[in-house]
Structure 1
Amino acid sequence: MPRDHHRPVHFTDAEFAALQGGEDPALVNRVAHETANALLHRVRQGPDPQVVERLVTYTDVHGIEAVAELWARVGPHTLPGALWRIYLMRTVIRQNPDEIAFFFTRGTERIGTIDQAVAGAEQPTGPAEILSLADSILHGLYTGDFAVALDRGAAFCRLAAAGASSVADDSDLTAEERASVLTVRAFRLAELAEDLSAAAALWRRDALD
């Protein structure tokens, strides 16, 4: 995701093979870290609103796979791992904003924490508000406090997980298959929340690389 879209990133044959087939995990890891650090440093050093907007909507044009190729195969408590998870979160929201907004609202009703305030979603939270929240969090990675953006993502995921779990409980007796699907989704959202919280803590200690 370069700032100048007419200037493509060039990879050696070995780097390309590693990214495509995972033949060299060490090389995949190095390329992921180098691209994430270079991108974030370049954009945050002098944020251009048009560039930031292109980065936020990058997966809308190129697909989530384009980001996954670079960053999905590294550990969650790394800079590229954190960036990947925020993009993944946004993609999940955009795939079904109505359902995610419902989960989020149910989660805020189910658990009494400060997560609703931390996430920063407009109230009441419908599909439009949840889509706006996703973009706002991603904008924050490039233009605001990076750790706060990660914490907002984590808070959203915790609430959505709680909501999905609650709906799964309601479905247990009448729709076992749906309940099972929602339980898995809740687990994955909760896991995503833990990873983002850990990454935020590492960033504040200047230890997220």
Structure 2
Amino acid sequence: MSDRQHHRPMQRGSSFFETVVGGSDPAEVSEAADRAASLLVRGACETDDAEVAERLLHLADTEGIEAIAEVWSGSPADSLAGCLWRLFLLRSWVYADPATVAAEYEAGRAHAQVARVVAGVADPPGPDELRAMVDEVLRGIAGSDFADVLFRAAAFARVVATGRATLAGPSEAQVRRMLVLAEQLESAAHAELDHGLV
């Protein structure tokens, strides 16, 4: 016979959850993400301070794209938080691989004329020009209509998706991902015009 004492199993009532120590409540994280995005976008538009635009632009550099992802990556595409995540992700990608981005953009611009004009990339679109364009787009969060920011980013993503489709290297999944990003940003821009994103 064992000396081990047997205990009744703990009842998992309401007090059980009060004693669990662990991760953050997803609802609270989502609410905080939405509030932060709203303050960044709506608050930035109400100021003429150039330093605010620069701080917004370099948010991913100072905080890290991983920190931003942790807060905003799970947000819906048609929310301010979801849009900010996609914009910062786009900028991080352009900075991480500007030569590839330039090649894909160059390949797509002849086949997506309207999107090329809306994106507003200098001609010819080299790595430096693409970095300058994506920075200008993000500065626009503080200095222009947020719908315009989204339309420009969407147009840029559409040209890149078109370019990927014409090149031999990118996979069909890579083309589709960029096209979905373009469609999400464009849809969000229309929603921003119609009723304002939250």
Please classify the TM superposition score into its range, dividing by the shorter chain length: 0.7 to 0.9
Q: Which runs of 5+ in 1 are unaligned?
A: 1-15, 19-23, 169-177
- Number of positions where the alignment pairs a residue of Structure 1 with one of Structure 2: 178
Q: The residue matched to 2:23 in structure 1 has which SS?
A: helix
Q: The residue matched to 2:113 in structure 1 has which SS?
A: coil
Does 1:190 pair with 2:179?
A: yes
- With normalisation by structure 1, the TM-score equals 0.80
- 1:127-206 paired onto structure 2 within 5 Å: 127-168=127-168, 178-180=169-171, 183-206=172-195
Name the % identity. Answer: 34
**Alpha-carbon separation, structure 1, partners of 2:197 and 2:63:** 27
- Residue in 1 that maps onto 2:109: 108
- With normalisation by structure 2, the TM-score equals 0.84
Which protein has the larger Cα radius of gyration, Structure 1 or Structure 2?
2
**Alpha-carbon separation, structure 1, partners of 2:196 and 2:43:** 19
Does 1:86 pair with 2:92?
A: no
**Alpha-carbon separation, structure 1, partners of 2:181 and 2:112:** 20
**Alpha-carbon separation, structure 2, partners of 1:162 and 1:90:** 19
- Residue in 2 that maps onto 1:21: none
Which one scores higher on RCO, CA 8 angstroms, separation ≥ 6?
2
Q: Which runs of 5+ in 2 are unaligned?
A: 1-21
- Residue in 2 that maps onto 1:49: 50
Question: How big is the shift at 1:112?
Answer: 4.1
- Alpha-carbon deviations, 1:5-58, whole Å to 9, x = none? xxxxxxxxxxx932xxxxx33222211111111222222211321221122012
Q: Which runs of structure 1 show a deviation greater than 4 angstroms over 4 or more consecutive aligned residues?
A: none
- Residue in 1 that maps onto 2:23: 17
Q: The residue matched to 1:133 in structure 2 has which SS?
A: helix
- Residue in 2 that maps onto 1:59: 60
Q: The residue matched to 1:17 in structure 2 has which SS?
A: coil
